[in-house]
Structure 1
């Protein structure tokens, strides 16, 4: 039995991994899957792979590429989704900020450097033609850390997936003043160099089975209630989420998307100009 330690954020995107893990199909093919929730997001998982605490992880595309450019010891092996993520731009409910054009000189809460909450403000600032080198960041670790930072006036703006934060918008804790979609498919699966050297075939099976469960969930007539109940979301929000969210149907690298994302990160000054997209992926 090959043990594979898998990491991902505790959000609705990752339900297919739990379905695959509990189905028994992986175990029948000699894989012992162990899942860990990472509330710290992509940055936390990159560190865990460096620490040999994870073999496989589901990372934001931009964060995965940025990590590899900084010598992280993993490769992208497949896209997990074929759709963008919609980042909500949040401020405390009682903030004086009422428009996204007012956020530039304020303090951005980020889970970690290299995380999506860190990289997306750069993407947004570039879209607005603001000087990206003047952005101010405050590390808050996770969503609960952002809530505390807002309460304690330690941060002013927070980028996070809009349906995950919606309960705090609904209860009057956050106010969403805008949205920022990623300009690329949002999630990829990565595997550590050591895992690929020893168990590339098992990694391939793991992803194939998980994507099969993703398609089963997508085609399930009860898919909205399944996710709404499990993640405490409103059915209408899940319905809206499904309108733009699609999981990948098969293992695929989509090298043109990786190249586009890499070039964007270069333009933002987040990846060295000599870095090549060929360094980011491994074909299973």
Structure 2
């Protein structure tokens, strides 16, 4: 989605926050910016390995593990680099495998040692014993944020404020009608009912879309330590609709 924002295929996208910040830094000519928050709670990234893997804990990945990723610059890569910096792992190696099914297959076939993906999405694969859960990496920042080009944000402040407000209203209704909302999640995404309940327990939507500057700075600092991005000032990342 970040690439499509940069090429003009999309006007607005809701992206994994760390992926958006990394994309803003790596597509400087496109002048991408983060302009709002969609999911204010952190996204838990599950670390998965083959069922017969020798790894028993996250610390066991610290000696040069090879990680599967969906594509270069994706959340699966960014979070693997973040985890390596947080846990002081050796510099990880990467193999581009594709979507979640290809990542699972690549791990089963020992093309890679591990991969990271959203925790609840992985539960069906753990239940089927396709791969084994090793642990969770949970960064201290909002899971999903809104992104657009600086030009689009400056030209459409009212449109974007209205968009965020309307999405916030829908999210509020979703939370008020929890049972109905969870049925929709199960029917649309194929989650088991108990998995949807777990998911709803850790997801918190931002109803006003406000940007927490301290948390954005935390993302940038963490990605800098992980060598995902270079130096990046806050004003090069965040631009609110209507901001001068």
Both proteins in one fold, TM over 0.5: yes
Q: Give the alignment partner of residue 161 of structure 1, picking from 118, 126, 149.
A: 118
> Aligned to 1:68, what secondary structure does the other structure show?
helix
> What does residue 238 of structure 1 align with?
196
Higher relative contact order (CA 8 A, sep 6+): 2
Shift of 1:116: 1.4
Q: CA deviation at 1:197?
A: 4.1
Aligned 1:56-67 pairs, distance under 5 A? 56-67=12-23
Q: 1:116 to 1:221 in 2, by over 3 A?
A: closer
In the alignment, the residues of structure 2 paired with residue 196 and residue 204 of structure 1 have an alpha-carbon distance, to the nearest angstrom, of 10
The yes-or-no answer on 1:129 pairing with 2:88 is yes
TM-score when normalising by structure 1:
0.78
CA distance in 2, matches of 1:79, 1:227: 21
1:52 counterpart residue number: 8
Superposition RMSD on alpha carbons, in Å?
1.7
Structure 2: which 5+ runs fail to align?
Answer: none
Summarize deviations over 1:198-249 as a string: whole Å, max 9, x none. 4332222222111110111011041322212221112222112222210001
Aligned to 1:97: 55
- Whether the 8 Å CA contact 2:76–2:115 is kept in 1: the answer is yes
* Corresponding residue to 2:97 among 112, 130, 140: 140
Aligned pair count reads 237
Deviations 1:153-200 (A, max 9, x none): 321201000111111111111111111112211110111234324433
Partner of 2:44: 86
Runs of 4+ residues over 6 Å off in structure 1 = none
With normalisation by structure 2, the TM-score equals 0.90
Q: Which residue of 1 aligns with 2:214?
A: 256
Q: Is there any run of 5+ residues in structure 1 with no aligned partner, and where?
A: 1-44
